[in-house]
């Protein structure tokens, strides 16, 4: 029976803006208040989805969220009509309005953690929505994320959905951005690799000094338990706190894996030798042969990795067995990184080719190719149970491009967020989108 890896990319929402909301994410902080272009952002994302589909990869789309999030503003004490809520928040608490407008759900690597059916005790695909509770603007994503995932994977025989973990820092969970699955074939039992930034309860793990560690060991362990993973199919590793302090706020900013390959920076983990030995052993017991490709700091510094997002790339298995790395344009603009990539693809190793995409609108908020996609390994009959409305086709691509042209602005600055018309535009667009993607009612304004 064949199995696939399917990438579900986040469609960028109509309020995409640079709010400077993510302390510890260098790009988000340095582009704070810059003008954004939501239309271009959405089109850049769609172009990547289309290109991957054209190359023969399974591609899906994950819908954006209702923003401004008026319900959240109401929960913080703003009252009146929706327009009055927005107006009062703009006047008295602009940072709260900005947070309630973030289009951050586009980074679907943070939507949830997924364990394929070959790894779970009950033989179903498990999803746990990420609570994202390190940042207020992201902590408000999971209720809608859960509804959207429920509408995409709506078949209890194959799919199980778990609610986000308790909303406290001790269980800080950032989803698939800190989770990598290694396997021989996508349909084989694999090894799930959870990378955490700190422990909430165990003082033996050194925490970063400057920036927050978003993912805790206890959150990763809870997800593994919920998904019914066996101990011999799980490896936990601590991210090097020194790199978190240099802007590596998720593991997918410093490492990426696919199949039997781990592509990582020399400074990514603590106790790297021990981590690799455990990964190698456990994968070998599942018939796989770990191939670890270490990028030395002499070739690419952590600073270059953070600026270029070299590791926030998509590592994809081509039909001919070779692997392809999808990188952002920023990698080509960085001489150290680009030279390294030339050497890598000429080295005879598993990574044979590199393709470059312009994702500047998302990149300026710290979201590269890998942030924009959620990976779901599916067997054939599971793929058949996915809501067909969210599977990318040439005609869906055309429809979504037209939808973006119709509803999106090509300029957005902070003062525009106070315009109540933006809320109406967003709701009109999303109402139409739920029909295009056949999601049913998933947004608060549709459920009220
Ligand atoms: O959580 N940026 C996101 C970027 C997420 C990237 N995802 C992965 N690495 N998987 C974050 O920091 C910035 C929003 C703003 O500042 O407007 C933001 O939320």
- Dihedral sign (CA 191, 192, 197, 198): negative
Mean pLDDT of 401-429: 97
Give me ligand 1 centre to Cα 318, in Å.
29
Give rounded-to-5 percent helix, strand, coil for the chain: 40, 20, 40
* Residue in 28, 34, 130, 174 to alter for ligand 1 test, most ligand atoms within 8 A of Cβ: 28
* Contact criterion met (CB below 8 Å) for 16 and 412: yes
Strand partners, 314: 326
pLDDT at 200 over 80: yes
Q: In the annotation, is 371 catalytic?
A: yes
- Cα–Cα distance for residue pair 92/98, rounded to 1 Å: 12
How many beta carbons lie within 10 A of that of residue 3, not counting itself?
18
Q: In the annotation, is 250 catalytic?
A: yes
Mean pLDDT of 66-80: 98
SS3 144: helix
How many beta carbons lie within 10 A of that of residue 388, not counting itself?
13
Mean pLDDT of 387-401: 98
Domain ranges (residues) in the chain: 1-107+372-448, 113-295
Mean pLDDT of 291-296: 98
Q: Which two tokens stand for residue 15?
A: 């309020």
| Angle between helix 420-436 and 82-92 (nearest 10) | 130
> What are residue 239's phi and psi, to 5 degrees?
-70, 145
Q: Which of 66, 141, 174, 278 is catalytic?
A: 174
pLDDT at 311 over 90: yes
How many beta carbons lie within 10 A of that of residue 232, not counting itself?
12
CATH architecture of 113-295: 5-stranded Propeller (3.75)
Q: Which of 142, 250, 265, 407 is catalytic?
A: 250
**CA-to-CA separations, 49 to 17, 21, 80, 154, 420, in angstroms, rounded:** 21, 26, 40, 23, 31
- Cα–Cα distance for residue pair 44/390, rounded to 1 Å: 18
Q: Which two tokens stand for residue 140?
A: 């408000």
* Contact criterion met (CB below 8 Å) for 216 and 198: yes
Of 152, 194, 217, nearest to 11 (Cα)? 152
Of 435, 317, 422, nearest to 69 (Cα)? 422
Of 445, 401, 408, 437, nearest to 68 (Cα)? 445
Residues having CB closer than 6 A to ligand 1 are: 18-22, 25, 28, 102, 104, 107, 109-110, 138, 177, 249-250, 252-253, 365-367, 371
Give the model confidence (pLDDT) of 203-235 as tens digits: 999 999 999 999 999 999 999 999 999 999 999
Q: What is the pTM of this model?
A: 0.98
Give the model confidence (pLDDT) of 314-369 as tens digits: 999 999 999 999 999 999 999 999 999 999 999 999 999 999 999 999 999 999 99
Give the model confidence (pLDDT) of 16-40 as tens digits: 999 999 999 999 999 999 999 999 9
Please tell me the residue having the least CA distance from ligand 1 atom 9.
371
**CA-to-CA separations, 375 to 9, 62, 109, 170, 369, in angstroms, rounded:** 9, 11, 8, 26, 12
SS3 429: helix
Q: In the annotation, is 174 catalytic?
A: yes
DSSP character string of 193-247: EEEESB-SS-TTSPPPSSS----BHHHHHHHHHHTTB-GGGEEEEEBPHHHHTTT
Which pLDDT score, from 0 to 100, does residue 1 have? 62
When pLDDT is cut at 50, 70 and 90, the band that residue 144 belongs to is very high
* Contact criterion met (CB below 8 Å) for 427 and 446: no
- Cα–Cα distance for residue pair 267/208, rounded to 1 Å: 14
Find all residues with CB under 8 Å of 45, minimum gap 6, and list them.
Answer: 9, 10, 11, 12, 106, 359, 362, 372
Please tell me the residue having the least CA distance from ligand 1 atom 14.
21
When pLDDT is cut at 50, 70 and 90, the band that residue 448 belongs to is confident
Give the model confidence (pLDDT) of 278-288 as tens digits: 999 999 999 99
- Cα–Cα distance for residue pair 110/295, rounded to 1 Å: 25
- From first CA to last CA, the distance across the chain in angstroms is 43
pLDDT at 160 over 90: yes
Q: How many residues does the chain have?
A: 448
Average of per-residue pLDDT values in the chain:
98
Query: How far is residue 130 CA from its own chain's centroid?
Result: 10
Give me ligand 1 centre to Cα 22, in Å.
6
DSSP character string of 8-37: EEEPPPTT-------TT-HHHHHTTT--B-
- Cα angle: 305, vertex 311, 312; to 5 degrees: 110
Please tell me the residue having the least CA distance from ligand 1 atom 8.
371
- Cα–Cα distance for residue pair 59/146, rounded to 1 Å: 20
CATH fold group of domain 1-107+372-448:
3.75.10
Which pLDDT score, from 0 to 100, does residue 21 have? 97
Closest approach atom of ligand 1 to CA 29: 16
- Dihedral sign (CA 152, 18, 396, 375): negative
């Amino acid at each position: 029976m064949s199995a696939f890896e399917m990438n579900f990319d986040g469609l960028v929402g109509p309020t995409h803006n640079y709010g400077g909301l993510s302390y510890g994410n260098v790009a988000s902080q340095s582009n704070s208040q810059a003008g954004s272009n939501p239309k271009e952002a959405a089109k850049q994302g769609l172009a990547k989805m289309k290109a991957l589909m054209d190359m023969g990869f399974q591609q899906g789309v994950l819908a954006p969220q209702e923003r401004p999030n008026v319900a959240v503003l109401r929960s913080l004490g703003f009252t009146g009509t929706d327009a009055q809520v927005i107006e009062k928040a703009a006047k008295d608490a602009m940072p709260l309005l900005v947070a309630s407008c973030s289009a951050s759900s586009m980074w679907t690597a943070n939507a949830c953690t997924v364990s394929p059916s070959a790894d779970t005790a009950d033989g179903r695909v498990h999803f746990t929505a990420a609570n994202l509770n390190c940042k207020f603007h992201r902590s408000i994503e999971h209720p809608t994320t859960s509804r959207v995932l429920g509408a995409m994977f709506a078949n209890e025989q194959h799919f199980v959905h778990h609610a986000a973990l308790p909303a406290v820092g001790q269980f800080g969970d950032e989803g698939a951005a800190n989770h990598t699955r290694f396997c021989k074939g996508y349909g084989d039992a694999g090894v799930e690799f959870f990378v955490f930034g700190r422990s909430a309860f165990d003082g033996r793990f050194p925490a970063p000094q400057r920036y927050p560690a978003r993912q805790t060991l206890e959150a990763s362990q809870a997800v593994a338990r919920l998904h019914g993973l066996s101990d011999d199919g799980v490896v936990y590793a601590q991210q090097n706190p020194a790199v978190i302090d240099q802007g590596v706020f998720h593991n997918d900013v410093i490492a990426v894996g696919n199949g039997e390959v781990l592509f990582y920076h020399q400074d990514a983990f603590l106790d790297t030798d021990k981590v690799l030995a455990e990964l190698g052993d456990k994968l070998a017991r599942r018939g796989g042969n770990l191939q670890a490709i270490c990028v030395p700091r002499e070739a690419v510094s952590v600073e270059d990795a953070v600026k270029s997002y070299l590791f926030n790339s998509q590592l994809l298995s081509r039909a001919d067995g070779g692997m392809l790395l999808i990188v952002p344009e920023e990698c080509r603009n960085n001489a150290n990184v680009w030279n390294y990539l030339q050497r890598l693809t000429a080295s005879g190793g598993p990574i044979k080719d590199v393709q470059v995409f312009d994702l500047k609108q998302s990149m300026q908020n710290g979201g590269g190719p890998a942030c924009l996609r959620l990976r779901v390994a599916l067997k054939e009959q599971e793929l058949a149970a996915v809501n067909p409305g969210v599977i990318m086709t040439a005609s869906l691509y055309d429809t979504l491009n037209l939808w973006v042209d119709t509803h999106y602005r090509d300029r957005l600055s902070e003062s525009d967020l106070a315009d109540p018309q933006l809320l109406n535009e967003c709701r009109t667009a999303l109402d139409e989108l739920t029909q295009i993607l056949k999601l049913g009612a998933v947004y608060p304004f549709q459920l009220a």
